[in-house]
Structure 1
Amino acid sequence: MDQKQIKEFIVQKIPEGYSLSKIQDMLKEQGVHITFMELRLLASEIEEGFWKKTEEAKAAAEPVKDIAPPAADPEDADVFPAEEPPAPAAAPIPEPAPNAADQSAPAAPRGKTTVELSKIARPGTAASGTVKFGSGVTAEWVVDQFGRLGLDNASGKPDQQDIQEFQLELQKLFS
C-alpha cells in the first residue's frame, strides 16, 4: 500500500469506530508496518482535512437555514444590549475591547453555536473537538485529564454569549 491508500484505509475505518491501535493491527495484517506515532500523525492530517470539508459542506447547506433565524434574532438583539452593561461592571478590565466589537455584533444575525467531538483524542487530553460560535468565531477545544477546558487556534475572541452557549452545548454533548 502506498501513502494514499493507507490514508484512504484510515478514512474508512475511523468513522466506523475503530481505534488507532486496531487500525494499526489491520494495516499490519495487510503487510503495512507503521508505527503508532506515524499512524497518529496521518490520522491527524486526515482529521484536519475532514473537518474542513465537513465545515465547507455545512456552510454550503446552511445559508437557507440562516435566513430564518434573523427574524427571531432582532428580538434577542433587543434583550442582549440591556444585559451588556452589567458585564463590564463585573469585569471592567478584560471586557472593554470585546464590548466595542459586541456593540456592532447585535446588528448582524447570530448563528447557532455548534460543538463537535473529535473521534481521535489528542495526547494529554480526555476529549477534544471543534466549535463554531454563533458570532462566527471558530476554535478547537480540549478537556484535559483534570477536566480543565481550553480553546486553541481561535479565529477571534468569542464574546460572553458565545462562551455560555458553548458551555451548554458541551454539557449536552457529554450528557
Structure 2
Amino acid sequence: MFSASKLSEDQKSSLKQWAAEGASIADLQKRMKDDLGISITYMDARFLVLDLGIEIAEAPKEEKKPVEEAIAAAPVPTGAVTVEIDNIALPGAMISGKVTFSDGETGIWMLDQYGRPGLDTDTPGYRPTQEDVMEFQKQLSELVRKNGY
C-alpha cells in the first residue's frame, strides 16, 4: 500500500494542482506514473486523494435541451472496451485491474480467490451496456488465461 509520506512536498502540490485543473482519480494515477515515475493502483490513488485532502472537482453540468436529453439517455458507444491488469492485486483479490467501457466510463474490477467478480465504477450506479459486458468478460477471460490465473 502506497503512503502519502513517500511523496515530497513538490509532488503533493503537483497532485493538488492537477486535481484543481479537473483531473479525475484515474488521471492523477496516470500522471503520477507518467510525470513522477510513481506507479500505484487505482485504490491507492483513491486513498492518497483522501489522505492529502484533495478535492476532485466535478465538471459543471450544463442545462440540457429535451432533444439533447434523449440523445444522452441512449447509450452510444464512442470507443472500445479496454481491460488492464494491476501489477499488484487489490487486497482480498486474486487478480484486479482497470476497465474503460465504450462510453468512456471507467472503473476497477477484481476476482477473489473463488473467482467471484467485483466491479466498482467511478460513477455510482453506472451499468455498462450488454455489449460492453460481453466484451469485458471476453477480454478478462483472455487476460486471466494469458497470465496463468
TM-score after normalising by structure 2: 0.48
| Richer in helix (by share) | 1
Q: Which has the higher contact order (CA 8 A, sep 6+)?
A: 2
Return the index of the structure with the highest Cα Rg: 1
